[in-house]
Amino acid sequence: MTTRHFLLSIILSAAAALSLPAADNSYKPQSPAEAVRMDPQKAGGVYYVYDSSALPAPTAPPAGYKPFYISHFGRHGARWCFSEYDSLYVWLSKAAKAEVLTRAGRELLSRYEPFYRKARLHGGNLTGVGKEQHRGIAARMYRRFPQVFCGPTHVEAVATEAPRVIMSMWSFLSSLQSLDRNIDISADASAEYAPWLQPSLSLNPYYRRGTFRLGEKAEAALEDYLFATVPWKDIVSRFFSGPEVVQDVLKTTPEVFIRFLHSVVFSAPCMDEDLDIFEGVLTEEESFLIWKVLAARHFLQMGRFEGSESLAVGYAGWTLEQIIESADADMRSGATQLRLRFGHDSGVMPLLTLLDVNGFGRSTSSLEEAVSIFPDYNVPMGCSIQFIFYRKPGKETLLKVLLNEREASLPLTPVADTFYSWEDFKAHYLPVISEEKARILE
């Protein structure tokens, strides 16, 4: 599916929604197969650019409650690939020199080469699509929760040092400032925030080598899952004279080749122009099957897979602790109405696992079940976690969580709908944080 076709499908879906009853905001899990069938771009996993065209209106809070404070953690917006562009070009060029490209392989190289000349200069950079994502999230936040922005509003914003993250923060903040001149902003980007903003960095004082290490058992399970799930020989033989070319000529593994090819193909919707050079490279079924393996890898790294040695969920304890402590301090002082954090999927996904948002924190020893528990298209480009706080004079503070601007569930007893007591939230998660931090520091 080209980007143009994808955008057309969004427009048609939005038009069809106009004739439907009011949306039910409650979270309704779908099987990955159902979700990808409805939106084939979800097979891009963490490259997915989520559809914000038909978001449901927020559920009304209990009588008398009004939003007054927002705490946020967002992933950078749509970006270019990294070394995947280089690797694909080198592989195709090597195969051409060795005369092991098929006709389809030669056609792909001829289409890809002019694109690569531009792409190689932008590795990891935010695209215009990514900038618009964050401008849109900011504008919708402002319009959905206007009470938070009544009168002078102070915003505290921090980002990792990655340019794509800094540009995402800039896009978000510039959008807010264009809507409200009374917004005062304090913004920074620094490795100082690594312990809770990007804990997988070695600069983190609590860092332990191999944060995302899977371990031999988990790596073997993932390899078996790849060979049992993905028709990689058929895919490779489409472009090369035989599957043996991957190791003999390209000097890589089937897993790396398939993963990099998938990333390049599904980076297309992140671009600022329609790209048809990847049309037909992968079928929708192949894309879905490859995605399952990549989603399984993400679960092994950042979910609760029994047998994985990954420490990522443990590091999320520092992230959640900072969210809780800063929220309490901000609400006591009243000096900050909006606290923004901008980072990466490696910070967002473990946090969602630790919070057990929408049941993402369940554990399993089955990779097939892992993909169903936490499909990684839930952490797309521009992923946004928003904690919206509500108050009523003389009553307890409530909050709700929005994931990608849609109401999400927590493993707590709600006060009403998806509204939870802030005190119940802390009573539940503070012991979880202590347990995870102890696991890292042991």
Q: Distances from the Cα of 196 to the Cαs of 99, 193, 289, 422, 433, in angstroms?
A: 50, 6, 34, 21, 12
Helices 216-229, 254-266: axis angle to 10 degrees equals 70
What pLDDT is stored for residue 28 in this prediction?
58
Report residue 172 as tokens: 């978000």
Distance CA 205, CA 207 (A): 6
E strands present in 280-434: 304-305, 338-343, 363-364, 384-391, 398-403, 406-408, 420-421
| Extents of the domains making up the chain | 47-77+130-207+311-441, 83-123+215-302
Residue that has been written with the tokens 């047998």 in this structure: 307
What pLDDT is stored for residue 201 in this prediction?
79
Mean pLDDT of the chain: 91
Distance CA 350, CA 305 (A): 12
Is 160 strand, coil or helix? coil
Give the residue ranges of the chain where pLDDT is below 70. 1-29
The CATH homologous superfamily of the domain defined by 47-77+130-207+311-441: Phosphoglycerate mutase-like (3.40.50.1240)
What pLDDT is stored for residue 305 in this prediction?
94
The string of DSSP letters for 274-298 reads ---TTTTTS-HHHHHHHHHHHHHHH
What pLDDT is stored for residue 29 in this prediction?
60
> Minimal CA–CA distance to 52: which of 430, 372, 381?
381
Classify residue 194 by burial, with Cβ atoms within 10 Å: 0-12, 13-18, 19+: buried
SS3 string, 176-214, reads HHHHCCCEEEEEEECHHHHHHHCCCCCCCCCCCCCCCCC
Distance CA 409, CA 46 (A): 21
